[in-house]
Amino acid sequence: MSFQLTEEQESLRRTVQKFAEKEIAPIAAEAEEKAEFHREIFEKLADIGLLGIACPEEYGGAGLDYSTYIVVVEEIAKHCLATAVGLGVQNLPQIMIDRFGTKEQKEKYLSPLSSGKKLGAFALTEPGAGSDASSLKTSAVRDGDGYVLNGTKVFITHGGVADIYLVMAKTQPEKGAHGISSFIVEDGTPGFSFGKVEKKMGLRASPTREIIFEDCRIPRESLVGKEGDGFKIAMIALDSGRITIGAAAVGVAQAALNEAVKYAKQREQFGQPIASFQGIQFMLADMATSIRAARNLVREAAYLKDSGQAFSHVAAMAKLYATDTAMKVTTDAVQIFGGYGYMQDYPVERLMRAAKVTQIVEGTNQIQRMVIARNLLK
């Protein structure tokens, strides 16, 4: 593992930076305020091949590693967390179907997902099953040559706009976590509908919605992996997702630092730029230091995953540290901006609201600490 990006990664980073500055930045603030989802951004991302980064080449992806993928996520998150999270949500079903799916499932779903023709989503959380994911209640009952789904999932990113949902449901409720199975459900399947669209504090340009199954019949070929593998599949998906959220949080934090540095040099009080005050300098120094540490931790987690080593605990550390860093850094950035920082005319309050959700999604930071501690004490 090198501390430097490869020539291709740097070239990709510059391209994505340019793309994000030209295509995403001009609409990000308004999309966030009005809670508008911009499907065309995902089409543009697809045009340059960014929706299938980790998908194998034979299914239209680029077949690249996570170390390269996180470079893209961070650059996009600097301008719009919702888009970066969307990229992650598009990626998750691809790597899960690639790893656990049948040849038929790969052929049917991977190309549409990697090319962005279809949007993907991941459905695990339920009203009563958040951190305690294995307590989920959605049921999948074998019926003839298929399954019948019943239940409600909440907080589903891209719920209602996605076409392909990876859904966790209980096939054997008495077996707890081992009774969970994973299914692909397509939009438009009878009995599959959408409920409440959530009104959120941040991440508003990304729709979060309730999805509902009422006697929703799906064919047997919808099962991903074996019956009872669902929880394992979900946890593996979350391990990867944590690296994504870590990278996105680094992007949010870096954007806040960039804004804070720029503002501190311009803003004058007591006849001098506020950047000349040690109180401000120390805050900026601490922000920069933790961002760098967070980025390296995220990159190490990606490296471990790419090289086939155990990475769950490091992914948890990366997610925990990067998102706590994002929260601290964005809060301090608002502080440096003072009263203006609290106003929507400046970008840092949006970054602060964005940072908060990164501490919660893909496993709360309390869950991350449990994962880390469990690894230490096993």
Selected from 2, 3, 7, 376, the binder of another protein by CB under 8 A is 7
Q: Minimum Å distance from CB 15 to another protein?
A: 5
Angle at the Cα of 41 from the Cα atoms of 37 and 46, rounded to 5 degrees: 130
Q: Minimum Å distance from CB 352 to another protein?
A: 25
Do 247 and 322 form a contact (C-beta atoms < 8 A)?
Answer: yes
Give the position of tokens 């969307």: 86
- Which residues in 93-107 are b (16+ Cβ under 10 Å) and which e? bbbbbbebbeeebbe
If one asks whether residue 196 binds another protein (CB under 8 A), the answer comes out as no
Instruction: Choose the binding region for another protein from 12-20, 128-136, 175-183, 203-211 (rule: CB under 8 A).
Output: 12-20
CB atoms within 10 A of CB 15: 14
> Closer to another protein at the Cβ: 10 or 107?
10
State how far the alpha carbon of 217 is from the alpha carbons of 95, 139, 144, 236, in Å.
Answer: 25, 12, 10, 26
Provide CB contacts within 8 A for 197, sequence distance 6+.
160, 207, 208, 209
Q: Minimum Å distance from CB 167 to another protein?
A: 29
> Closer to another protein at the Cβ: 31 or 62?
62
What distance lies between CA 328 and its chain's CA centroid? Answer: 20
DSSP lists the bridge partners of residue 143 as 146
> Closer to another protein at the Cβ: 23 or 324?
23
Q: Minimum Å distance from CB 162 to another protein?
A: 22
> Closer to another protein at the Cβ: 19 or 155?
19
- To the query of whether residue 362 is one of the catalytic residues in this protein, the response is yes
Burial class (CB in 10 A: 0-12, 13-18, 19+), 12: buried
Selected from 1, 8, 219, 307, the binder of another protein by CB under 8 A is 8
Query: What mask, x for binding another protein by CB under 8 A, covers residues 22 to 51?
Result: -------------------------xxxx-
- Chain positions 222 to 281 lying near another protein, rule: CB under 8 A, are none
Do 31 and 205 form a contact (C-beta atoms < 8 A)?
Answer: yes
Q: Minimum Å distance from CB 256 to another protein?
A: 19
Provide CB contacts within 8 A for 163, sequence distance 6+.
112, 118, 119, 120, 186, 187
> Closer to another protein at the Cβ: 284 or 371?
284
Instruction: Choose the binding region for another protein from 10-18, 75-83, 102-110, 368-376 (rule: CB under 8 A).
Output: 10-18
Query: What mask, x for binding another protein by CB under 8 A, covers residues 46 to 85?
Result: -xxxx--x--------x-x---------------------
- Chain positions 93 to 112 lying near another protein, rule: CB under 8 A, are none
Query: Among candidates 231, 295, 225, 222, which has minimal Cα distance to 257?
Result: 295
Report the sign of the C-alpha dihedral through residues 40, 37, 66, 122, in that order: negative
Give the position of tokens 């804004």: 259
Assigned token pair, 84 = 């970066």
Count of positions on this chain that bind another protein (CB under 8 A): 15
Q: Minimum Å distance from CB 47 to another protein?
A: 7
- Chain positions 129 to 188 lying near another protein, rule: CB under 8 A, are none
Instruction: Choose the binding region for another protein from 9-17, 115-123, 163-171, 349-357 (rule: CB under 8 A).
Output: 9-17
| CA atoms in the 13 A half-sphere facing the CB of 10 | 6
> Closer to another protein at the Cβ: 63 or 228?
63
> Closer to another protein at the Cβ: 49 or 130?
49
Do 170 and 124 form a contact (C-beta atoms < 8 A)?
Answer: no
Q: Minimum Å distance from CB 11 to another protein?
A: 5
What residue ranges bind another protein (CB under 8 A)?
Answer: 7-8, 11-12, 14-15, 18-19, 47-50, 53, 62, 64
**Could you list the active site residues?**
362
